[in-house]
Structure 1
């Protein structure tokens, strides 16, 4: 199994943009991304889908378009990616750490 390549395109206090390449054989275990305060939003664009596998799953999304563009709250809801059986998965991920709200208040 190859390694994940995570290219940081922008990294500020509140906003990060990454281009992430997941190789064949990789999977992301079910987890959430807790933060200390505020709210955490992720907008993911699947630039390249694997031929087989590599399916994103989460308990809840804000919206999803054709399983290629997904906005969700990684701080509130568990999420995972199934094993990539053939090909690779390339993702443009935009993350916003907003100062308003908190995970505890919104659950």
Structure 2
């Protein structure tokens, strides 16, 4: 199994953008991403879907288009990605840590 390649495209106090490549065999265990205060939003664009596996799952989404463009709250809801059985998964992930809400 290869390693995850995470390229930071933008990283500020409130906004970040990463290009992430997940190799065959990788999976993301069910978890959430707590923040110290405010609200955390992620907008994920699945640029390359694996031929088999690598399915994103979460308790709740704000918006999903064909399971390729997904807006969700990783601070509030558990999420995971099933094992990539064949191919790779490439994701453009844009995260916003907003000062409002909890």
Residue of structure 1 in register with 2:19 after alignment = 19
Superposition map of 1:1-107 within 5 A: 1-102=1-102
Distance 2:61 2:67 in 1: 11
Deviating above 3 A after TM superposition, structure 1's stretches of 4 or more consecutive aligned residues are: none
**Deviation of the 1:91 alpha carbon:** 0.1
**Deviation of the 1:75 alpha carbon:** 0.1
* TM-score, reference length from structure 2: 1.00
* TM-score, reference length from structure 1: 0.95
**Deviation of the 1:16 alpha carbon:** 0.2
1:28-48 CA-partner distances (Å, limit 9, x unpaired): 000000000000000000000
Residue 47 of structure 1 aligns to a residue in which SS? strand
**Mind listing any 5+ residue stretches in structure 2 that lack a counterpart?**
none
**Mind listing any 5+ residue stretches in structure 1 that lack a counterpart?**
103-107
Figure out how many residues of one structure are paired with residues of the other and give that number.
Answer: 102
